[in-house]
A and B are shown apart, each in its own frame.
Chain A
Amino acid sequence: MDFQTFLQQFVNAFSLGSLYALIAIGYTMVYGILRLINFAHGDIFMVGGYLAFYGVSAFLMPWWLAVIVAIALTAIFGVGLERVAYRPLRDSPRISIMISAIGASFLLENLAIVLFGARPKAFPVPEFFATNFVLGGVHIATVSLVIPVVTAVILAVLIWMVHSTRVGMAMRAVSTDVEAARLMAIDVNRIVSITFAIGSALAAIGGIMWALKYPRLEPLMGIMPGLKCFIAAVIGGIGSIGGAVLGGLLLGIIELMTVAFLPELTGYKDAFAFVLLIIVLLVKPTGLLGKNQGEKV
């Protein structure tokens, strides 16, 4: 293939990868704090998308307002989910909390079917994002450029927050050793809620940007991205924000570039993530940037 097509595909791939990265960060933060795979994360992503949609279409808000409201509401929703479905199981075997997460995921999906209808809705994409521009002979959708920029900004903010604020330090403490953190007078419940709020907000941003890129909203839209993004987080090293970004980018690029070079594998696209996962889990289970967590015998 010629260089132009390659570049075109690469831009797409990078854009998708940044999207995956954004969602993966939410997963990794929650896992770092609670050792929980929040199966419902992908569905929170879906909720963000729908809230923005209804903001614009039902409440006739200007687009930017709908987005802000959607993100805020989703964050609150995430906190609520944690309170209801996960907090009561804090001291239970890990399997129970995972089952609760799976249940929550299915509940959200089916509630969405009930409330929003199973038929896909067209997401209202504002003028600005629908444009293309040409750079060096390559057509780039504005959306594809906005996404990595947004991801980078958010990443910078998060890294600053985790390393330079007290809340960030508390989050790091809780993810290292909950008991010790509690003894240091850290309000663990508050930190967990904050983590969920941030993670859900990120999922909402991810959902809205996804809807900008692929303007089709449907209740089950969060399943595949959710699963893939969790895998991305694992590949990069679960618990590490940098790892989530690395994993997300890697996954997006591998997915689209492989299909670009070998179009006959398009049908198998979705399986790449899983194959990559199994390879990583076998070779380096803690992920590319992950740390080992042994068990005391």
Chain B
Amino acid sequence: MNTLKKSPMSRDAKLTLSAAIIGLILLFIFDQSFDRFTMQIFKLCAINIILALSLNLINGFTGLFSLGHAGFMAVGAYTCAILTMSPEQKEVNFILQPIVPWLAQVQIPFAPALLLGGMLAGFIGWVLGVITLRLRDDYLAIATLGFSEIIRVVLTNAQTVTNGSLGLKGLPRFTTMWWSWGMAILITVFLVLLIKSSYGRAFKAIRDNEIAAESMGINVLGLKVMSFTISSFLAGIAGGLLAHYLTTIDPKQFIFLKTFDILLIVVLGGVGSLTGSVVAAIVVTIAMEALRFLDGPLNFGFYATTGIPGLRMVFFSALLMIVVIYRQQGLMGKAEFSWDALSRIGLLPRRGAKAAKGGR
């Protein structure tokens, strides 16, 4: 998008606006016509888009290898859940030990709870970032993974705040299609604007050559922390949406496997491509559901098995390894969607004779 020209709406802007309108109409149609099951998958796609984009922000665009995403999701999920539960629901859940008094009567609407969940996750991300972002990639990976585990252990043991390993059940189903996709679209737009701004260039410079970036005046540690904080905040929001989508959460949901699922999406889509993350999030979410049959009874005609749980994940882990070994750049590498790209492959008429400067 060429933001420099002040001319009447550029071709890009017109195309984007039309796509947006068509998108909104589609969402309306989906909302009316999808059956329950399809709708659930559809909502999950949106949540995974947010998760993948936020992980890609740090891993793909800033070049930091963080494995702590599940921890921030957990913080957002629990914060949002606890704040929106009514006192009665809390009583019902906290059977082992009652909830701490100062939380017992608190109940706020979904929107502020979601925001607070994100903010707490972002704050914890900020703290973790300040502490660990000076570390080299492999150490950072372990430190963030470790921190995610610490969060999980704390959640499992803080009986009077989180209900420990019993988890929280009966959460209100706040995550409608509009909430999930609305947030996904909002966050995507935000990240696109961020990446295409001077900050985005600075992140990419840090990724490409940290020492040179620092020497060109970029406050590398400061920006790494900024990127990490934003990412954690978004993961927290996704966590809150997830909590009110599943309506039940417990610490065991936020094990490393959760981060792995998101990492899988980011790698498949292309580490460093927002478009790739969006596409991969949708495809992988659907595929995970579709391939659930692998875990169940299989009948090849000549050979039938009763359920083999784990086969599905065997498939996905093998897929991850194959992609990372044979096609590191995943689906899109570092390329992004642009209307020009569609012109190039012939889906749209080409632009006029004047050179298309900037289009990306």
* Interface residue ranges, A against B (CB under 8 Å): 35-37, 85, 88-89, 92, 94-96, 98-100, 102-104, 106-107, 109-114, 118, 219, 223, 227, 230-231, 234, 267-268, 270-271, 273-275, 277-278, 281-282, 285, 295, 297
Contacts and interface: CB of A to CB of B under 8 A. Distances in A.
A275 to B, nearest CB: 7
Given A102-B67, A106-B313, 17 more contacts: A92-B328, A95-B59, A95-B65, A100-B324, A103-B317, A103-B318, A109-B313, A112-B310, A114-B314, A118-B309, A223-B256, A268-B154, A274-B147, A275-B150, A278-B132, A282-B131, A297-B211
Contact of A278 (B131, B138, B313, B321): B131
18 contacts: A85-B325, A94-B137, A94-B138, A98-B141, A102-B260, A102-B320, A103-B318, A104-B321, A106-B313, A106-B316, A106-B317, A107-B318, A110-B317, A234-B142, A267-B153, A268-B157, A274-B150, A297-B211
B336 interface: no
Q: Which of B59, B154, B157, B260 has the most CB of A within 10 A?
A: B157
Contacts of A227: 145-146, 149
Chain A residues touching B, majority SS? helix
Contact of A37 (B132, B141, B257, B263): B141
B135 A271 contact: no
Contacts of B309: 113-114, 118
A111 B132 CA distance: 34
Nearest to A114: B310
B320 A103 contact: yes
B75 interface: no
Interface in B310-345: 310-311, 313-314, 316-318, 320-321, 324-326, 328
B186 interface: no
A37 B345 CA distance: 42
Interface residues of B, number: 43
A48 B141 CA distance: 26
A98 B260 CA distance: 12
Given A106-B260, A111-B314, A267 B328 contact: no
A121 to B, nearest CB: 16
B156 interface: yes
Nearest to B326: A88
B339 to A, nearest CB: 31
A278 B146 contact: yes
B142 A230 contact: yes
A101 to B, nearest CB: 9
Given A98-B65, A281-B132, A37 B318 contact: no
Contact of B263 (A35, A99, A114): A99
Contacts of A297: 211
B308 interface: yes
